[in-house]
Structure 1
């Protein structure tokens, strides 16, 4: 019973946070997020979101290798910390690996 409640709550948060991100991305005609955990992995969506929220440009690595994705997410995490967002127990590898709990926590930190 407890596991299904946790899974349901995670699913609701995933959909809600994806809708919030999409409501921001549409401002710059960026493609919408379909699967929150998959679409944040390369760091592109995070950087696009931060560009919209902060009106700053961030350098991206365009490669498809894991190292490029990690570097993009690191850029996003550093920008968040520089903006005063408190990040606890999350690193770029957590996002690139699609860790649900940590990605939800990260997006929540951006929202608030």
Structure 2
């Protein structure tokens, strides 16, 4: 078995499965789930991982205290991100809007 620093495809799959607390590739091959069950399991595991990660980050950073924990949704992006195109100008605009919404944007009045 190769180590974690290997650039092998199998190593990347093993790391991803561990990250999201999914069964190992060997377990999946021995007992393959149906396509719909596997999709639900992956979807649930990824959402759970990111929600826990966000909750930890929200608790650690006081700048995120205004973020509503009940409305964390991984499948439904915020309206700011829905209207953002894939270009540098729109992405920088969305970043500024997100900073304004979370109260982390430094205004000139705050600087003085």
TM surpasses 0.5: no
Specify the structure having the higher radius of gyration (Cα): 2
TM normalised by structure 2 equals 0.30
